[in-house]
Amino acid sequence: RDRHDFAAKLLELERTAPIAAAGLLRSVVTTGLAAVDPADESPFDAAIETWWARKNDAADWVVSRAFEYEWLAPRMRLLAALPHAIAGEPGRRWEAEEPYPEGAVQLIALTTAVRSLRKDEFATAYARHADLALAGEESTARIASLEFTTAPLAPPSRFSADRYDGVGTIVFASADALAAEVASEHYRDVVAPDAAAFSHAATSDVMVGTPTVIA
């Protein structure tokens, strides 16, 4: 299926038949995803993020008939397999006055920990890495939002199991802002080496795309 056709159909579904569940705070769909390095293509074509008032609200929705018949079933007509899921408490480190400005580009880092780290050590390293990502001279001018989520538990059985231990999301003000940050000395000399210290590059994935706020 053509990536652009898939993105258009998925966005249409999310807009016309959005999640209808108690406790949903925000829903964002990111489409048109590609790896930062074109030679390292992402295995995913889209990402759907949801934020909930309580973890029980999310759990209740996933086990509901509404999830199975009103949300999952229509989307499975577009998907090659069950969607993957990462569940956890988000750690928001930065949010500008407008977290999703017009022309924004989102980077999604699906991270697998190096085997030598315990889950608590990985969570600490991920938090440190998020702070380092904001510490560049112009980082907060380029970044509209940054948060990370560690996944201490497996996702519900209605989703496909995955290998990721966490996900980091960075919304950049524009594609130029993303390019400038990745090209900066701070990213090259501080952020990238730190990522290599706690994440397993061969089994981690990085994607970029256009975020659309649904709710």
Least confident segment among 40-54, 76-90, 99-113, 177-191: 40-54
Q: How far apart are CA 147 and CA 55, in angstroms?
A: 17
Instruction: Specify if 18 maps to a domain.
Output: no
Closest CA to 157 of 69, 68, 46: 68
pLDDT at 17: 93
Domain CATH code at residue 175: 3.30.70.100
Domain count, the chain: 1
Task: Flag whether 97 is in a domain.
Answer: yes
Domain of 172 in residue numbering reads as: 28-47+84-213
Instruction: Answer yes or no: is 7 within a domain.
Output: no
1 pLDDT higher than 60: no
Distance CA 77, CA 88 (A): 27
Please choose, from the candidates 49, 59, 60, 1, the residue with its C-alpha nearest in 3D space to the C-alpha of residue 25: 49
Distance CA 184, CA 187 (A): 5
The span from the CA of 86 to the CA of 159, in Å, is 9
Max Cα–Cα distance, the chain, nearest Å:
50
Q: Is 22 helix (H, G, I), strand (E, B) or coil?
A: coil
Is 120 a residue whose pLDDT tops 60? yes
**Span 192-200, mean pLDDT?**
96
The pair of three-digit structure tokens given for residue 164, joined into one six-digit string = 């990721």
More confident residue, 175 or 39: 175
**pLDDT tens-digit readout, 141-168:** 999 999 999 988 778 888 987 789 999 9
Residue 139: inside a domain: yes
β-strand 166-172 against 90-95: which pairing, if any? unpaired
pLDDT value of residue 33: 62
Which residue has 């975020």 as its token pair? 211
69 occurs within a structural domain: no
pLDDT, tens digit (0-9, with 9 covering 90-100), for 19-67: 999 999 999 999 976 555 544 567 888 999 999 999 999 999 999 999 9
- Residue 165 burial (CB count, 10 A): 25
Residue 114 in domain? yes
Q: How would you classify residue 23: left for phi > 0, otherwise alpha for psi between -120 and 50, otherwise beta?
A: left
Interatomic CA distance for residues 96 and 99, integer angstroms: 5
| 195 lies in some domain | yes
Residue 73 has pLDDT above 50, yes or no: yes
As a whole number of Å, the CA-based R_g of the chain is 17
Q: Which has more confidence, 77 or 160?
A: 77
Task: State the pLDDT at residue 32.
Answer: 76
Asked whether residue 4 carries a pLDDT value surpassing 90, the answer given is: no
Q: What is the pLDDT of residue 54?
A: 95
Contact criterion met (CB below 8 Å) for 170 and 122: no
User: Which element (helix H / strand E) includes 143?
Assistant: strand 143-150
**Dist. CA 206–CA 13, nearest whole Å:** 25
Of residues 197 and 161, more confidence is placed in: 197
Q: Does residue 15 fall inside a structural domain? A: no
